Structure 1
Amino acid sequence: MEKVSPKKLLSAQIIDLIRYSLHTMQYGYLVLTVQDGCVIKMERTEKFIFSSKNKTGYIVRDVPAGQHAFQSRILAQLQGLMYGQLIIRIEDGKVEQIEKTEKRRINEQEGILGDGI
């Protein structure tokens, strides 16, 4: 298996989008789709929760210049992922869960002689 360099995996623009979303989202999901070892799509689903407890209204957050605390963990999870998704759940402005779904490509020849799946 070919080793994918972090530079090939994520461009600076993708890293900035991830960092921005981690800093600004209050509730929601980030879904990073990986194909051939490269992030090809990022979906951002943001939820807005309205309750009588929150009297201050919607909070607009500034994006700090530095890295988010979970950014290095997310990049580590993406490392080595050839096909699949990384789903990041954000609850109350904090990363609550990181879910990794990995898909593996199986050659047509595998399994013919009882090996593989």
Structure 2
Amino acid sequence: MGKIARPKILPPQVMELIGHALHTVQYGYLILTVQDGCVIRMEKTEKYVFSSKNKAGYVKRNVPVGEHLLQSKIIAELQGLMYGQLIIHLEDGKVGLIEKTEKRRINEYEGINGDGI
């Protein structure tokens, strides 16, 4: 039988990194990789958009002390995930899209040589 997804508490270090990235990335995305129900990796890709509309130049933001508005939604999405990725797209400092890719391990189906599907 497959593993039953149990709600896991994210370690404070992981929460702090996710919160910091949500507050500081203007354009880009975060990829949270989950294995056995635990976040094992976070990738952050930040893009810089140069435009003639933005005459003020690069804007440096102060990182708010509080929790990001969508942090609880992201935690809820992560808790039901055993294997896969959560991709958070950021545009103009706002979460524009949350993409969830779930993978399932199938151990009960084996081929002739003991190989999985």
| Interval containing the TM-score (normalised by the shorter chain) | 0.7 to 0.9
Q: Which residue of 1 aligns with 2:114?
A: none
Quick one: distance in 1 between partners of 2:87 and 2:19?
15
Q: Which residue of 2 aligns with 1:62?
A: 62
Q: Which residue of 2 aligns with 1:19?
A: 19
Q: Which residue of 2 aligns with 1:100?
A: 100
Quick one: distance in 1 between partners of 2:101 and 2:18?
18
TM-score by length of 2: 0.87
Equivalent residues, number: 110
Same amino acid, percent of matched pairs: 64
Match of 2:8 among 6, 9, 34: 6
SS of the aligned residue for 2:22 comes to helix
CA contact (8 A) 2:8 2:37 kept: no
SS of the aligned residue for 1:6 comes to coil
Q: Which residue of 2 aligns with 1:47?
A: 47
Quick one: distance in 2 between partners of 1:77 and 1:64?
23
1:110 is aligned to 2:109: yes
Structure 1 unaligned regions, length at least 5: none
1:80 deviates by: 1.8
1:72 deviates by: 0.4
1:85 deviates by: 0.1
1:110 deviates by: 2.6
CA RMSD of aligned residues (A): 1.5
SS of the aligned residue for 1:81 comes to coil
Quick one: distance in 2 between partners of 1:4 and 1:13?
20
TM-score by length of 1: 0.87
SS of the aligned residue for 2:95 comes to strand
CA contact (8 A) 2:89 2:95 kept: yes
